[in-house]
Amino acid sequence: MIKKNSKSSLLNIYSLIIYLIIYIPIIILIIFSFNDSKINAVWEGFTFKWYMELFDDKEIISAMTNSLTVAFLSSLISTVIGTLAAVGMYKYKFRGKTVLDGLLYVPIIIPEIVMGIALLMFFSQLKITTGLLTLILAHTTFSLSYVVIVVKAKLESFDSSLEEAAMDLGATPFQTFYKITLPIIAPGILAGALLAFTLSMDDVIVSFFVSGPGFTTLPLKIFSMVKFGVSPEINALSTIMLIITLSIALFSESLRNNSDFEKEKNNKKIILKEKFNLKNIKKFATFIISVLLVTSVLTGCSSSNKESSKKEEVLNVFNWSEYLPQEVIDKFEEKYNIKVNYTTYASNEEMLAKLMAGGSQFDIAVSSDYMVDVMRNQNLIQEINMDNIPNYKNIGDEFKSLSFDPENKYTVPYMWGNAVVAVNTKMFDEEIDSYADLWDSKFNNSMVVLDDQRAIIGLALKKLGYSFNETDPAKLEQAKVELMKLKENIKIFDSDSPKTSLINGEAAVGYVWGAEAVLAQAENPDIKVFFPKEGIYLWQDNFVIPSGAENKENAELFINFLLEPEISAEISKSFPYANPNTEAHKLMDKETLENKAIYPDSDIIKKGEHLKDLGETTVLYDQIWTELKSN
């Protein structure tokens, strides 16, 4: 007896540990959604202000509405089709049934990025404009298999003699299905519907590829917000999503419990019990329809606005997240009566993949220096008519005629920056003169570095005296050896928000973007910026116009508008990246222009390098990066 109790206690302790591992991060997230501080690592008091700001954010409300609409419609369609398919495959035998069973698992096991690209290419070939329709079709596609599998599993325990009895008593096939089969498999249908809904609400990768300009789902919005760190707004939004998910789960559980109660009450009346299951399905359907009606009311105004603005001109913009203030977009729309559909991405590679699969849906994009080479070589961008951009004269000459666009035909500079070494001098009062200093063992497990293969491999190459754009395999092998040594000092790889680790003290040294270092200094004055003598990594983001863009003149008008000194200065005020617009400098505050982390001295810039397209050598960089991250 004692031994049995001991085993039971150990099992309870084990279960408690598992639940703590699962739920403690969620509890922490919920707690910090009420934190008065912008920095998650520091608690400064209790507040509801992040929730208030969240509900005042029209973009988030719109994204939430879009997600609910897509999730409900796609789950409804996939549930109906999936249920009918499951019943058909269970009841009937036909040639190729085994193959069809196997194909059901393809959407489940195929990588999401492959499915996303494939669906985008499919829609592009059929000339279907990406947006609400393509999202519903895509989500239905990957949800359908789950519904079929769940409903088929329920059918495996189905007693076919019940159908035979109903038929013997004169019921038609439809009556038998509706009154006998459907109530019995109702729990499976409900489970499949909830699973389809959850999959749709959570999807990021497929939605990124098939969403159209200006139509953003909630997961995509959160993903773009995370680029600048996990803020209290994101914690608040995540908490609300948890509440919604929990409500749906509790609703489903209540239906199941009611069904179990009915089963006990009518143990000998199976058909009555199954009718109750059908009643539960009807309740769930009523719940779905109710939410859809609410969603329709919420979107009614915006839909009517869209209908009334069909005759308005449009501009579809594809840009980095958190890189252009909404106020600037609003001013452009008001001035020129052109509707701007704004879509974001998180990396050059994401942008390239989407443009390759169907880039003509966008009129303007923002590309980093080396990616311009790639896009030009693949004929993904077209020449810009500089006669339509008189404000191009405001751009400094040092930002023109660079290697990726020597004749200034394809690009217009937008922002530029660098990667710097940042040190918390309170933790390490050290001067960093060279990249080699970062290999010092005293920095063991205390560095945050960019999660960027070209930047980090380039760091090792510069330490060895080579170029950021080195292509010699032997020199790259030397760099790999050096990186394996450096990894002992690296604690965190983070390109999205490395400032957070520097501010909260989790990391003492960072190899980070200059703008991130500036934001970290604003929160922690002990952080100091250094420029290694070997030369810094420079980057420049540029406006490009994709090939086949339908609103090219609007795109050029937009570029010219953003290059107006007042507008350009306003952008720099919101996002502290270096601005190539010399006329805008006259309107910017002196403190920003004199910040060396943003605008290094000219001798430092001259020693810096821009990245170039490496062609086939990119494969070697990929191999080094994979080995570094997996070792």
Contact 271, 71 (CB under 8 A): no
Same domain membership, residue 470 and residue 410: no
HSE-up of residue 336 (Cα within 13 Å, Cβ side): 21
Asked if residue 262 belongs to a domain, the reply is yes
Which residues, in sequence order, are bridge partners of residue 46? 35
Give the rounded distance of the alpha carbon of 130 from its chain centre.
Answer: 17
pLDDT band at 256 (very low <50, low <70, confident <90, very high): low
Same domain membership, residue 403 and residue 432: no
Task: For CA atoms 105, 110, 114, 115, give the dihedral sign.
Answer: positive
Same domain membership, residue 436 and residue 349: no
Give every CB contact of residue 20 below 8 A, 6+ residues apart in sequence.
none
pLDDT band at 549 (very low <50, low <70, confident <90, very high): very high
Same domain membership, residue 422 and residue 403: no
Q: What is the per-residue pLDDT across 587-605, written as a single tens digit (0 to 9) for each?
A: 999 999 999 999 999 999 9
Asked if residue 38 belongs to a domain, the reply is no
DSSP state of 181: I
This model's pTM is above 0.95: no
Query: Which of 368, 418, 416 has its CA nearest to residue 529?
Result: 418
Between residues 421 and 503, which one has the greater pLDDT? 421
What are the C-alpha distances in Å from 7 to residues 1, 13, 17, 176? 10, 10, 15, 50
Distance from C-alpha of 262 to C-alpha of 97, rounded to nearest angstrom: 37
Asked if residue 15 belongs to a domain, the reply is yes
Asked if residue 312 belongs to a domain, the reply is no
Distance from C-alpha of 527 to C-alpha of 258, rounded to nearest angstrom: 60
Same domain membership, residue 381 and residue 360: yes
- The mean pLDDT value for 182-190 works out to 86
- Angle CA 422–471–488, to nearest 5: 40
Q: What is the per-residue pLDDT across 519-536, written as a single tens digit (0 to 9) for each?
A: 899 888 999 999 999 999
CATH code of the domain containing 173: 1.10.3720.10
Number of structural domains (the chain) is: 4
* pLDDT attached to residue 11: 82
Burial tier of 263 (Cβ tally within 10 Å: 0-12, 13-18, 19+):
middle
**H-type helices in 96-185, by residue range?**
97-103, 106-109, 112-125, 132-155, 161-168, 173-176, 182-184
Distance from C-alpha of 377 to C-alpha of 187, rounded to nearest angstrom: 55
Q: What is the per-residue pLDDT across 300-336, written as a single tens digit (0 to 9) for each?
A: 444 444 444 445 799 999 998 778 998 999 999 999 9
- The mean pLDDT value for 278-289 works out to 54
Same domain membership, residue 423 and residue 407: no
Q: Which two three-digit tokens encode residue 281?
A: 């399905």
What are the C-alpha distances in Å from 471 to residues 24, 461, 467, 479, 618? 47, 11, 9, 11, 9
Range of the domain at 203: 52-298
| Rounded (10°) angle between helices 49-56 and 232-265 | 90
pLDDT of residue 146 exceeding 60, the answer is yes
CATH code of the domain containing 580: 3.40.190.10
pLDDT of residue 86 exceeding 80, the answer is yes
Give the rounded distance of the alpha carbon of 235 from its chain centre.
Answer: 16
Task: Give the domain-ending residue among 240, 269, 298.
Answer: 298
pLDDT of residue 408 exceeding 80, the answer is yes
Strands 412-424 and 527-530: antiparallel
Burial tier of 459 (Cβ tally within 10 Å: 0-12, 13-18, 19+):
buried
Q: What is the mean pLDDT of the chain?
A: 85
pLDDT of residue 351 exceeding 90, the answer is no
Contact 537, 458 (CB under 8 A): yes
Distance from C-alpha of 312 to C-alpha of 330, rounded to nearest angstrom: 15
Over its C-alpha atoms, the chain yields an Rg (Å, rounded) of: 29
Same domain membership, residue 292 and residue 244: yes
Same domain membership, residue 19 and residue 63: no
Same domain membership, residue 405 and residue 439: no
Task: Give the domain-ending residue among 269, 298, 327.
Answer: 298
* pLDDT attached to residue 302: 42
Give every CB contact of residue 158 below 8 A, 6+ residues apart in sequence.
90, 181, 184, 185
Name which of 276-290, 453-467, 580-594 the model is least confident about: 276-290
pLDDT of residue 384 exceeding 60, the answer is yes
* pLDDT attached to residue 304: 42
**H-type helices in 203-269, by residue range?**
205-210, 218-226, 232-265
- The mean pLDDT value for 407-426 works out to 95
